[in-house]
């Protein structure tokens, strides 16, 4: 559970670092880069322990899959609520395919 919580907050910081500035297009690029790097530093401080702790329970492929699903969940919330972008039907279909990928990654064949 610690891994999931750390990955969630890690992705929250990384999504913020990558996309917060889209609402502030007048801000100079060098300032956006500096602020984003500072935000990303916090992300790394959460992601590295998350993956280290998670490696005792999951393999690298499973950890990456978990991270990607969490990343999508965080991004959808960020894009919809912060950036005010619509969630279209084709995005949902794509996410369903990603969930299908999760099934194949975690299924013990």
The C-alpha atoms of residue 87 and residue 4 are separated, in whole angstroms, by 25
pLDDT at residue 109 greater than cutoff 90: no
User: In total, how many domains does the chain have?
Assistant: 1
Q: Over range 2-24, report the average pLDDT.
A: 96
Residue 11 has what pLDDT? Answer: 97
CA nearest to 75, candidates 3, 27, 33, 22? 22
CA nearest to 78, candidates 2, 6, 9, 16? 16
Confidence of residue 13 (pLDDT cuts 50, 70, 90): very high
Locate 37 and state its tokens: 């790097």
Residues 59-106: tens digit of each pLDDT? 999 999 999 999 999 999 999 999 999 999 999 999 999 999 999 999
Give the whole-number percent of the chain exceeding pLDDT 70.
Answer: 100
> Which residue, chain included where needed, has tokens 């990928």?
101
Provide the whole-model pTM.
0.87
């Amino acid at each position: 559970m610690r891994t999931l919580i750390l990955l969630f907050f890690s992705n929250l910081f990384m999504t913020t670092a990558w996309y917060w500035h889209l609402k502030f297009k007048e801000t100079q690029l060098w300032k956006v880069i500096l602020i984003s790097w500072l935000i990303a530093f916090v992300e790394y401080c959460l992601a590295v322990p998350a993956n280290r702790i998670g490696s005792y329970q999951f393999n690298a492929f499973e950890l990456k899959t978990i991270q990607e699903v969490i990343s999508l969940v965080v991004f959808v919330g960020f894009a919809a609520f912060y950036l005010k972008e619509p969630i279209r039907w084709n995005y949902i279909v794509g996410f369903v395919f990603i969930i299908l990928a999760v099934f194949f990654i975690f299924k013990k064949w």
